[in-house]
């Protein structure tokens, strides 16, 4: 709380100002600066740049693909984690290629330091600690920000990535206090400014588990979860040679809750803010607190807990699965009932945090607000949860703010382009009633949106945006050409009956060949890998690297399903191409159903395809709308 205000002064002007330097703000600022904009990044605390206040981990299903997409578009998250991970694992390896997911455990302190350094070293980008209290808005256009220190910065475009600092309130049992994440400062006045400007704010809630001292964990009572031997990395640019051998990675440790823990939780529910009514914010269903899990899934006698190292230069561990807002003393007791944690020292209690969200239907797909021109929002401010979701939006908001400042056309990813496109379309079209997390099931084209082809899907776009170098693009194009050439070659090489390949086929219980078979057709069989195939056919002139081999396999093996999804995408393209005029007055269109009319007026979709995804807008409304826009 300030007891007196600073005297305001003109502090200079920039092309783009980004408010908040979490995962969204870092990407936004770097993207805007790299596109050639003089950019200012303002953060409440320099110690919080790209900080991970929750899990020390990145990636996983859907989210891992987002990290790859950010990397392909020229963002920083993939590179940063490749430099600072302590463990890498590929998940879902037993499943199809669309859902394989890379996840890294991060050294959260190194991650923060590395990102901060990158930002500091970026030409065109200024990093400054201050709290933004107000926006400078003239005639409905955002022209800058005012900080608590009295600085008035002017800009052509402003990006807000305020996160849980927005009127943040931490709750631990009966204790509650104004705070941003990890006991940083809350941003209260900015929320008030947004309300004054007419924004509809919502109150969301999220939480984090206690941290414990690793020296006091009985590891023998837990199961070790080591990283992978096979090299993995998030960034296209990281070579396999940079991969850490498993012995140099840190493990996670698995333990479980038990009936004694659950009894203790049930006996103390009156002290759990989630149940005592103290918390009003809406929490995510997919990230429930332990008290929530025990109440909602009363028949389960145990829940998994993963003990995750927070970094190399610390013994602090994150107790994944034990997110809670119980009072500190109950948290202690809970921990001591858990196998392996009987004598653990709690270093920080878990907490719930409530914060303000800009209801995302108030945004264009560019993440510019509909209310105030040249003002963009991203990350948790838009109602999402997760570092990856935040970074993906931050990148798009930064790109669009940067392009606005440069006088260029906006950039929007379609649902068929990227998970980032799915997420933003969901947010601006459907809104969200709880912190939004990306799930693979949210994508209707997930076989097209794979982690292994993020570079092929998006790097050319990143290049056109000025975020991907010519060399990088050339490397991707070379990979693409190699893959295409090899697929073409495999369709012409034939395997004859009675050959070694035929024996191999029969050894796998398949029928003997009657006629010759192309190498491509053989590779489509589930038991054949590209490397095995090479035992029966001549090697290509230039051997393929690991990634190119993977592409050849996936593109051939799953060709049928990929084509099916491409057909769906192409059908939608005609509707995506039908733009709805920005100034359309839905009250002037006869025949729209009341619900459809209200929803259309609220969301103001930009294309017919987007309109078709609004719940409550039926096919007749769409027909009428398409007739109307054809003739007006």
Does position 565 interact with another protein (CB under 8 A)? The reply is yes
Question: Can residue 627 be called a binding residue for another protein (CB under 8 A)?
Answer: yes
- Which residue number, 174 or 559, has a Cβ lying nearer to another protein? 559
Which residues, in sequence order, are CB contacts of 78 under 8 Å at separation 6+?
67, 68, 70, 71, 233, 234, 235, 236, 238
Q: Does 593 bind another protein (CB under 8 A)?
A: yes
The binding site comprises 20-25, 283-297
Say whether residue 500 binds another protein (CB under 8 A): no
Binding flag, residue 571, another protein (CB under 8 A): yes
Pick the binder of another protein from 221, 267, 474, 623 (CB under 8 A).
623
Residue 334: CB minimum distance to another protein, A: 15
CB of 589 to another protein, least distance (A): 8
- Does 558 engage in binding with another protein (CB under 8 A)? yes
| C-alpha 146, offset from chain centre | 29
SS3 199: coil
Q: Is residue 24 a contact residue for another protein (CB under 8 A)?
A: no
Across the beta sheet with 351-358, the strand order is 175-178, 169-172, 351-358, 201-208
Q: Which two tokens stand for residue 294?
A: 């025990």
* Minimum distance of another protein from residue 115's CB (angstroms): 22
Contact predicate 275/269, CB 8 Å: yes
Say if residues 159 and 25 touch (Cβ distance below 8 Å).
Answer: yes
- Does residue 631 belong to the site contacting another protein (CB under 8 A)? yes
State yes or no: residue 285 binds another protein (CB under 8 A).
Answer: yes
Q: Per CB under 8 A, which region of 234-242, 331-339, 390-398, 433-441 contacts another protein? A: 433-441
d(CA 424, CA 443): 12
Which one of 77-85, 241-249, 545-553, 557-565 is the stretch in contact with another protein (CB under 8 A)? 557-565
Residue 386 engages another protein in binding (rule: CB under 8 A): no
The reply on whether position 383 binds another protein by CB under 8 A is no
Which residue number, 64 or 398, has a Cβ lying nearer to another protein?
A: 64
Instruction: Select the span of 9-17, 37-45, 237-245, 437-445 touching another protein (CB under 8 A).
Output: 437-445
Is residue 231 classed as helix, strand or coil in its secondary structure? coil
**Number of neighbouring beta carbons within 10 Å of residue 411:** 17
φ, ψ of residue 377 in degrees (nearest 5): -130, 155
Is residue 284 part of the contact set for another protein (CB under 8 A)?
Answer: yes
Applying CB under 8 A, among 146, 519, 522, 572 the residue interacting with another protein is: 572
Per CB under 8 A, does 518 bind another protein? no
Count the Cβ atoms, other than its own, within 10 Å of residue 583.
5
Q: Does 563 bind another protein (CB under 8 A)?
A: no
Kindly provide the b/e burial profile for residues 526-551, where b requires at least 16 CB atoms within 10 angstroms of the residue's own CB: eebebeebeebbeebeeebeeebbbb
Residue in 11, 217, 378, 447 binding another protein, rule: CB under 8 A: 447
Residue among 219 and 286 whose Cβ is closer to another protein:
286
Both tokens of 168, joined, read 């943040």
Residue 269 in contact with another protein, rule: CB under 8 A: no
* Nearest distance in Å: CB 29, another protein: 28
Rule CB under 8 A: choose which of 568, 579, 581, 601 binds another protein.
Answer: 568
Identify the residue whose tokens are 């190699």: 482
Q: Where does 294-436 show beta strands of DSSP type E?
A: 304-309, 316-320, 346-348, 351-358, 375-377
Residue 343 contacts residue 218 (beta carbons within 8 Å): yes
Are 557 and 585 in contact, with CB atoms under 8 Å apart?
no
Packing angle of the helix pair 454-464, 470-490 (nearest 10 deg) = 140
Among 13, 92, 124, 258, binds another protein (CB under 8 A): 92
The yes or no reply on residue 91 touching another protein (CB under 8 A) is yes
Contact assessment for residue 388 and residue 111, using Cβ atoms and an 8 Å cutoff: no
> Under the criterion CB under 8 A, does residue 196 sit at the interface with another protein?
no
Least distance between another protein and beta carbon 618 (Å): 7
Place of tokens 């945090």: 353
The DSSP symbol for 170 reads: E
- Least Å distance between CB 588 and another protein? 12
Q: Which of 196, 312, 343, 564 binds another protein (CB under 8 A)?
A: 564
Residue 51-90 contact track with another protein, rule CB under 8 A, x = bound:
---xx-----xx----------------------------
Annotated binding site for FAD: 20-25
Number of residues binding to another protein, judged by CB under 8 A? 63
Beta carbon of residue 622, minimum distance to another protein (angstroms, whole number): 5
Name beta bridge partners: 152.
10, 146
Which one of 32-40, 331-339, 539-547, 612-620 is the stretch in contact with another protein (CB under 8 A)?
Answer: 612-620
| Residue 532 interacts with another protein (CB under 8 A): yes or no | no
* Helix ranges (DSSP H) in 407-441: 419-430
188 Cβ contact partners less than 8 Å away, ≥ 6 residues apart: 167, 178
Q: Nearer to another protein by C-beta: 266 or 300?
A: 300
Q: Closest distance between another protein and the C-beta of residue 457, in Å? A: 19
Q: Give which of 47, 55, 50 is closest to 29, Cα–Cα.
A: 50
Task: Check binding of 496 to another protein (CB under 8 A).
Answer: no
CA atoms of 239 and 480, how far apart (whole Å): 18
Q: H-type helices in 491-558, by residue range?
A: 500-507, 519-523, 530-533, 546-557
First to last CA, the chain: 54
Residue 579 lies near another protein (rule: CB under 8 A)? no
Closest CA to 115 of 191, 198, 28, 221: 28
Q: Catalog residues that contact another protein under the rule CB under 8 A.
A: 54-55, 61-62, 91-92, 94-96, 98-99, 101, 209, 284-288, 293, 296-297, 300, 303-304, 306, 320-321, 323, 439-442, 444, 447, 525-527, 558, 561, 564-565, 568, 571-572, 574-575, 590-591, 593, 609, 612, 615, 618-620, 622-624, 626-628, 630-631
């Amino acid at each position: 709380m300030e007891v007196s205000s600073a005297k305001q002064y003109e502090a200079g002007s920039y092309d783009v100002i980004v408010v908040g330097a979490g995962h969204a703000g870092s990407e936004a600022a770097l993207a805007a600066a790299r596109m050639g904009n003089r950019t200012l990044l303002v953060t409440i605390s320099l110690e919080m740049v790209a900080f991970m206040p929750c899990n020390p981990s990145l990636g996983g299903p859907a989210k891992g693909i987002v990290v790859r997409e950010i990397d392909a578009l020229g963002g920083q998250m993939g590179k940063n984690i490749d430099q600072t991970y302590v463990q890498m694992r590929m998940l879902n390896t037993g499943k199809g290629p669309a859902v394989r997911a890379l996840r890294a455990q991060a050294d959260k302190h190194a991650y923060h330091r590395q990102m901060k350094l990158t930002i500091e070293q970026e030409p065109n980008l200024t990093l400054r600690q201050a709290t933004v209290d107000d926006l400078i808005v003239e005639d409905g256009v955002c022209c800058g920000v005012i900080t608590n220190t009295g600085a008035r910065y002017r800009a052509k475009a402003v990006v807000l990535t305020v996160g849980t600092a927005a009127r943040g309130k931490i709750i631990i049992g009966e204790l509650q206090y104004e705070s941003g994440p990890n006991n940083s400062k809350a941003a209260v006045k900015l929320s008030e400014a947004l309300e004054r400007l007419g924004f509809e704010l919502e109150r969301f809630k999220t939480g984090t588990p206690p941290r414990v001292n690793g020296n006091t964990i009985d590891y023998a009572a837990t199961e070790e979860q080591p990283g992978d031997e096979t090299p993995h990395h998030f960034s296209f640019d990281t070579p396999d040679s940079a991969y850490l051998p498993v012995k140099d990675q840190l493990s996670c440790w698995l333990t479980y809750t038990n009936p004694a823990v659950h009894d203790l939780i049930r006996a103390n529910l009156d002290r759990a803010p989630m149940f005592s009514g103290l918390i009003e914010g809406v929490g995510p269903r997919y990230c429930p607190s332990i008290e929530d899990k025990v109440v909602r899934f009363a028949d389960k006698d145990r829940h998994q807990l993963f003990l995750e190292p927070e970094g190399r230069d610390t013994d602090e561990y994150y107790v994944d699965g034990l997110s809670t807002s119980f009072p500190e003393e109950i948290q202690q007791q809970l921990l001591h009932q858990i196998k392996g944690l009987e004598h653990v020292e709690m270093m920080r209690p878990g907490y719930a945090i409530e914060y303000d969200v800009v209801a995302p239907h108030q945004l264009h797909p560019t993440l510019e607000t509909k209310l105030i021109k040249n003002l963009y929002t991203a990350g948790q401010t838009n109602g999402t949860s997760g570092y990856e979701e935040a970074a993906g939006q931050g990148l798009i908001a930064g790109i669009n703010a940067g392009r606005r400042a440069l006088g260029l056309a906006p950039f929007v990813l379609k649902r068929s382009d990227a998970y980032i496109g799915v997420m933003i379309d969901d947010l601006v079209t459907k809104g969200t009633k709880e912190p939004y997390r990306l799930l693979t099931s949210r994508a209707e084209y997930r076989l097209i949106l794979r982690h292994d082809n993020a570079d092929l899907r998006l790097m050319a776009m990143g290049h056109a945006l000025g975020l991907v170098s010519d060399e990088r693009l050339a490397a991707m194009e070379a990979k693409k050409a190699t893959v295409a050439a090899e697929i073409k070659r495999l369709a012409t090489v034939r395997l004859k009956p009675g050959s070694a390949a035929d024996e191999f086929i029969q050894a796998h219980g398949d029928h003997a060949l009657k006629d010759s078979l192309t190498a491509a057709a053989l590779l489509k069989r589930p038991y054949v890998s590209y490397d095995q195939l090479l035992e029966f056919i001549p090697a290509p002139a230039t051997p393929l690297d690991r990634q190119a081999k993977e592409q050849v396999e996936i593109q051939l093996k799953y060709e049928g399903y990929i084509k099916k999804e491409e057909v769906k995408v192409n059908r939608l393209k005609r509707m995506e191409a039908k733009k709805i005029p920005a100034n359309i007055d839905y009250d002037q269109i006869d025949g729209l159903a009341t619900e459809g009319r209200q929803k259309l007026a609220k969301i103001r979709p930009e294309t017919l395809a987007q309109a078709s995804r609004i719940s409550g807008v039926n096919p007749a409304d769409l027909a009428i709308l398409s007739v109307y826009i054809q003739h007006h």
